């Protein structure tokens, strides 16, 4: 039987980073993954350029049943720390939008950086390698039945990620193990995912597929309410774009979304002013504020003629139109699911983990890091930052 100080299951963002750091701290580390190709989510992230962190990352950018849980790990290994590492490896990067940092060339550079860090720590890496069983031994050690033979370790780190995109290696193994070993699980749900509507509700908007515009979107309960100012994208089955991906993490089945299609404008005021000075038709006037196709679709939906001169429209009619466009309430019937979700919401319940070390309170020596934990970041580099921060907290404690 081979023995290690620390075994990490899952060679994705969190697992690679934790293994390298623990190895460099002097531990004998084994990193294993069931996939042929490791770190696939890093490879495909950020359109191939990996949005590896966000300059502004703070606990306010994360969702969890316990929103304070991420505080300690993020404070002790921050976005600035990871940026420092990227710079030390000579990787060029740039800021795109709201603090989001991307590689200039390719996400492969982040993978190679993490592999170099593992090499520097003398980490052994086996893949593909599966683990059929994990047995906690009474003395704090763990025994694993792996496809490469029996293994023994002092510490076991589960970094198997979330459930999104099953075809590139996502599995519920980490969640099932956590549950079997006595941990509570916050129900996993697809997050950062396009939302869908019933065919009947969506029929008036199908023609708008491909149209994009900036909006405010909000939803949620009083406990966790989200509001974002981002671009919205109409699709054949519903809504997507950054605004919807962001709000999808807050959306619960049965809740409505509220959309303001003319953000930072008093549309009622603008239409009434236009009425008093303009000779244009209502459709043309509205198309000065909204994309033309959207303006036409809304007018026909409300039974208003686009060719009617705005000067002949009733004030009440214009105000109602403005109210509908600035507080469009609509109820998704679901999401595009794990196939399209960027991340999982929910996971191992943080009540059963230490926020300092990500170690189990039920079973000392066992840690959960990265996306398998009930901490989910916004779109924009926050999920990788959680992977780095939680991995560092675990490696430092180990």
The rounded distance, in Å, linking the Cα atoms of 21 and 397 is 11
Q: Which of 156, 343, 358, 398 binds ligand FDA (CB under 6 A)?
A: 343
Binding residues with ligand FDA: total (CB under 6 A): 37
Closest contact distance (angstroms) between CB of 214 and ligand FDA is: 21
Which residue has 């002092």 as its token pair? 154
Q: Which stretch binds ligand FDA (CB under 6 A): 69-77, 158-166, 200-208, 214-222?
A: 158-166
Q: Which stretch binds ligand FDA (CB under 6 A): 4-12, 71-79, 88-96, 351-359?
A: 4-12
347 binds ligand FDA (CB under 6 A): no
Cα separations in angstroms, 291 against 228, 285, 286 = 20, 11, 8
Q: At 189, which helix (H) or strand (E)? A: strand 185-191
34 binds ligand FDA (CB under 6 A): yes
35 binds ligand FDA (CB under 6 A): yes
CB count, 10 Å around CB of 392? Answer: 24
387 binds ligand FDA (CB under 6 A): yes
CB 343 within 8 A of CB 191: yes
74 binds ligand FDA (CB under 6 A): no
The arrangement of strands across the sheet holding 93-95 comes to 51-54, 100-103, 93-95
Q: At 295, which helix (H) or strand (E)? A: helix 292-301
Polymer length of the chain: 398
66 binds ligand FDA (CB under 6 A): no
Residue 292 vs 355, nearer CB to ligand FDA: 355
Residue 228 vs 384, nearer CB to ligand FDA: 384
246 binds ligand FDA (CB under 6 A): no
| Burial bucket for residue 330 (CB in 10 Å: 0-12, 13-18, 19+) | middle
Residues that bind ligand FDA (CB under 6 A): 9-15, 33-35, 38-39, 41, 44-46, 50-51, 130-131, 159-161, 164-165, 169, 171, 173, 342-343, 370-371, 381-384, 387
């Amino acid at each position: 039987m081979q023995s290690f100080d620390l075994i990490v299951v899952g060679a994705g963002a969190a697992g690679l980073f934790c293994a390298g750091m623990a190895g460099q701290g002097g531990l004998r580390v084994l990193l294993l993954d069931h996939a042929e190709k490791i770190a696939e989510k890093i490879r495909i992230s950020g359109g191939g350029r990996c949005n590896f962190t966000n300059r502004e990352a703070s606990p306010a950018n994360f969702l969890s049943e316990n929103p304070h849980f991420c505080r300690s790990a993020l404070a002790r290994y921050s976005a600035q720390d990871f940026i420092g590492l990227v710079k030390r490896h000579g990787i060029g990067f740039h800021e795109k939008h709201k603090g989001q940092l991307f590689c200039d060339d390719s996400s492969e550079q982040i993978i190679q950086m993490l592999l170099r860090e593992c090499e520097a720590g003398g980490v052994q890496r086996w893949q593909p390698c599966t683990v059929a069983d994990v047995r906690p031994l009474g003395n704090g050690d763990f025994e694993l039945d792996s496809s490469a033979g029996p293994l023994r370790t002092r510490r076991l780190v589960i970094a198997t990620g979330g459930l999104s995109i099953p075809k590139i290696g996502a599995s519920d193994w980490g969640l099932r193990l956590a549950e079997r070993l006595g941990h509570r699980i916050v129900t996993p749900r697809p997050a950062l995912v396009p939302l869908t509507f019933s065919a009947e509700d969506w029929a008036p908007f199908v023609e708008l597929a491909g149209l994009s515009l900036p909006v405010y979107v909000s939803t949620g309960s009083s406990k966790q309410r989200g509001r974002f100012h981002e671009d919205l994208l109409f699709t054949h089955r519903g809504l997507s774009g950054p605004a919807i991906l962001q709000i999808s993490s807050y959306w619960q089945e049965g809740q409505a979304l509220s959309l303001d299609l003319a953000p930072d404008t008093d549309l009622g005021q603008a239409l009434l002013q236009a009425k008093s000075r303009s000779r244009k038709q209502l459709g043309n006037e509205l198309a000065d504020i909204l994309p033309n196709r959207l303006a036409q679709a809304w007018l026909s939906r409300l039974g208003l003629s686009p060719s009617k001169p705005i000067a002949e429209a009733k004030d009440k009619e214009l105000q109602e139109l403005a109210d509908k466009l600035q507080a469009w309430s609509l109820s998704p019937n679901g999401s595009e699911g794990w196939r399209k979700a960027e991340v999982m919401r929910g996971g191992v319940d943080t009540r059963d983990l230490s926020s300092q070390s990500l170690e189990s309170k039920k079973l000392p020596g066992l840690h959960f890091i990265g996306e398998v934990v009930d901490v989910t970041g916004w779109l924009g580099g926050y999920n990788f930052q959680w992977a780095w921060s939680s991995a560092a907290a675990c490696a430092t404690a180990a």
